[in-house]
Amino acid sequence: MRSRNKIFQALLVFVIVAAALVTGASLLKSSGSFADGRPRFGSNGSEAALIKINGIITSSGGDSGIFGGASVASSMRLVKDIKEYAEDDSIAGIIVRVDSPGGSAAASDEIWHALRKASDAKPVVISMGDVAASGGYYVSTAGDYLFANPSTLTGSIGVIFDMIEYSGLFEKLGITSNTLHAGEYKDIGSYSRPMTDEERTMLQKLLDQVHEQFIAKVAEGRGMEIEEVRKLATGMIFTGEQAADNGLVDDLGGFEDAFAKLEELCGEELVMREPPPPSFWDFFSGGFDYSAQLYNSGPGSPLESLAAKLYLSSLAVRMKIN
């Protein structure tokens, strides 16, 4: 009986602490402001909607909780939110905070199109955080005005596919892989055999085509010539300052500068729409850690490997600046 009481007391303490943490997080969200009092969260006056694109960009998943994996930017959730804000007459403009090393090419394109469509209805200003590279830069080009911090890591206009091939190791260990397939290229990218020259050429064509799509989106979003962008589309990472010198961003500044620009484009003072407080479940649940698929090669079906490895992502995700 005494043991049960101790367990019950421990659970009660856990629930109380969890509730306090959730309440604290909610209060921090709803009272956030800069030193000069702007931008403020509130509900009086014309509103600006805040969209956050944090972490690996993928087609599914969501921001992680304290027990979740890496933060994930879900195109399904983001496109839905962007569309709702674009159609909401009480929203005067949209500000997007990007802090992402990239991710899925298809998901990045979905977000790009949603933001471009929203910009036809109301001003959209982009603010880059620590990293807005590759897919993170891709989506950033969809706004009406683009800010980067001088030390933001951005650019990395390229596409990558990587895989590990284990056939040499399997031979040493006496492991045999038996794969049956109908269709000559059904097992392309298999980890159990070397890639053929024909398969390598085929995959390179896929990457080149996605790269050209990336270049075209940057050229359209930035109002640049295709050849001008192609010269910069080497996969090279730029600082925000270098990006500004090359025309890849409009101006240098932080989130507050981006908010001031949004007010200028809207022609009025704005208040930030207060985000809904996190639920108990939101706080303790997390998104699917898609980064494991993006950055770790391992056994899996060839189709899954191809889908997970054909992505717009930057080596900046593996860099840490102290």
Kindly report the backbone phi and psi dihedral angles of residue 151, in degrees, each rounded to the nearest multiple of 5, phi listed first. -100, 5
Give the other-Cβ count within 10 Å of 63's Cβ: 19
Residue 186 appears among annotated catalytic residues: yes
In DSSP terms, 72 is beta-bridged to 56
- Nearest CA among 152, 203, 205, 166 for reference residue 300: 166
HSE, CB side, 13 Å, CA atoms: give it for residue 168: 4
Give the pair of three-digit tokens for residue 314.
């930057």
Amino acid at 38: R
Q: Which of 90, 186, 205, 279 is catalytic?
A: 186
Question: How far is Cα 38 from Cα 202, in angstroms, rounded to an integer?
Answer: 52
**Distances, alpha carbon 131 to alpha carbons 48, 100, 153, 194, 320, in Å:** 23, 5, 5, 35, 11
| Terminal CA-CA length for the chain | 52
> Tell me, what amino acid is at 206?
L
Query: Is residue 287 a contact partner of residue 64, using CB atoms and an 8 Å limit?
Result: yes
Task: Report the b/e string of 218-245 with b at 16+ CB within 10 A.
Answer: bbebbebeeeebbebbebebbbbebbbe
Q: Which of 71, 134, 156, 291 is catalytic?
A: 134
**3-state DSSP call for residue 180?**
coil
Return the active site residues: 134, 186
